Amino acid sequence: MTQTFSIEAIVLGRNDNYEPNWLAKLYASIAYNRALFEGSNVDFRVTFVEWNPPPENPLISPDLVKTFPHVRAIVVDAEVHARLCTADNLDFMLNHSYNCALRTSSSDFLLITSGDLFFGEQLADRIKTKGLKPGCLYRAERVNIREDIDFSTADAAILENPANIVSINTCTEPPYDKPPYTHACGDFLMVDRATMNGLRGFDEGISFARLHLDSRFCYNAMAAGLDCELLGQIFHINHGNSYMNRPNNYPGKAYDFNANLPYLNSRDWGLHTHTWHALGERLWRISSPDLERPADGLPSSEIETANAVLLRMAQAKSGRQPLQPLEHIPLDVIEIDPASIRAEDHWTGSLVEGTAAPVLITTVAAQWGYSAFLRVEIPQESQLDWSWMKLDMEGVSGQAGVSALSGNDLMNEHYINGDGRRQVVYIPMPADGEGLMFRNSGAEGPAQLRVHAITLLRQARVQMSFDHLLLPNEAH
């Protein structure tokens, strides 16, 4: 695709003094990246999403759209964040904030990126001269540069000067040298609009974390059969709040980002059912849900492409297991005594207490340390090839993970927080599964959880329908 086309870079932020001079760096980044494509066949645009703005500080968005004619902005109210977020230490949700911009874009290619980076000249030239193609996930290698540069006047000679480089998140050395190049991938993920509407952006099922949503997106793109290409380098301002500079106290909760892939967002992804208020030219504000939300604006010519992408992910998912048993299909139910859970002697500090339900599990102190195991034998009748472990549990303290063990792999891990809340969870169990592994997932010492009941559910595999997920009014 070498004719004229548009790219929309989606940038997130809020006026919370996230980093010193962050606002000035944002303006410098937008101006610099736009200038790289001035006078070319590429119409470079930006959408700024201002998520959960602090009420004591003025909004960023109005001045941003006034300053830059190629910028549109979306302000998402604090009430939306409060309703969707389930982590106390998380003020920003990447998934919904990116997704509301992705869903409403009219540009040809959509770029998930950040407001503190500058495109490399080689990357920009590659896009301008060779163009872009649909059905491809485009990535870039992140180069971290000094934060004390005057970014308002810096040119490529300064930004790309080796003397100003702090580190490189390599995408050209093992194990990061293979598609989809997930090392620091959240700063550059670009896909054409129709394909992005099939992928449906970041995973909206994660309500408690902002870490690794970018990697999950990459794996979803691969599950949908996309190509992947590394375009070049981007130059990112090194800062103290980056995950690589604070890996032990990054906001949000831990989770297994490889679990339950591919993910499938609902047809209402991207805050579609919320109320969108027009505040001015190129400026919107999103508040509480509105059931009268109008239909999508995706061109009809692209709906078939979007649905085809979604179906490929759905078929990949159904080839594994559904997340929960289908209630309308008969189940084989086998009750398992929680007192069968055991702690190995070499798992120092772990303990299982109770000779009957409920039993109390205390994990080891080390994060991710194995703590208790329940061996389960899965009956192997071929017509009954979906199995789940249904657990009635209660987190007492800390955070623990429960997963299916298959060989050396932990699969479908679920995390239990020590909030005293009793809950029922389903852990899909593969045919070669050996049982359930309980481990500590928190970094603050041992966790405790109480197991009230365990049930093995088995069900015949059925052909699943995904019509309810697809964009309507199209044959599929």
The answer to whether residue 373 is domain-embedded is: yes
Q: Are 256 and 314 found together in one domain?
A: yes
Longest CA–CA span in the chain (Å) reads: 75
- Count CB atoms within 10 A of the CB of residue 166: 12
pLDDT in tens, the chain (476 residues): 558 999 999 999 999 887 788 999 999 999 999 999 999 999 999 999 999 999 999 999 999 999 999 999 999 999 999 999 988 889 999 999 999 999 999 999 999 999 999 999 999 999 999 999 999 999 999 999 999 999 999 999 999 999 999 999 999 998 889 999 999 999 999 999 999 999 999 999 999 988 889 999 999 999 999 999 999 999 999 976 554 555 555 667 777 777 778 899 988 899 998 999 999 999 999 998 865 554 456 788 899 899 999 989 888 877 666 777 877 888 889 999 999 999 999 999 999 999 999 999 999 999 889 999 999 988 766 556 788 999 999 999 999 999 999 887 788 888 898 989 899 999 988 888 899 999 998 888 999 999 999 999 988 877 777 777 787 754 33
Which residues form the domain of 415?
332-459
Q: Are 355 and 263 found together in one domain?
A: no
Distances, alpha carbon 156 to alpha carbons 28, 128, 143, 150, 162, in Å: 13, 17, 13, 12, 11
Domain count, the chain: 2
Q: Are 136 and 284 found together in one domain?
A: yes
The answer to whether residue 470 is domain-embedded is: no
The answer to whether residue 28 is domain-embedded is: yes
Residue showing tokens 């970018």 = 214
Q: Are 301 and 346 found together in one domain?
A: no
Instruction: Please name the helix (run of DSSP H) or strand (run of DSSP E) that holds residue 275, with its range, or none.
Output: strand 274-280
Q: Are 232 and 337 found together in one domain?
A: no
User: Which residues are paired to 233 by β-bridges?
Assistant: 141
Q: Are 108 and 199 found together in one domain?
A: yes
Burial per residue of 8-24, b for 16 or more beta-carbon CB atoms within 10 angstroms, e otherwise: bbbbbbbbeebbeebbe
Does residue 43 contact residue 7 with C-beta atoms inside 8 Å? yes
The answer to whether residue 349 is domain-embedded is: yes
Q: Pairing relation of β-strands 332-336 and 448-459?
A: antiparallel
Residue showing tokens 């299909």 = 329
Q: Are 290 and 348 found together in one domain?
A: no
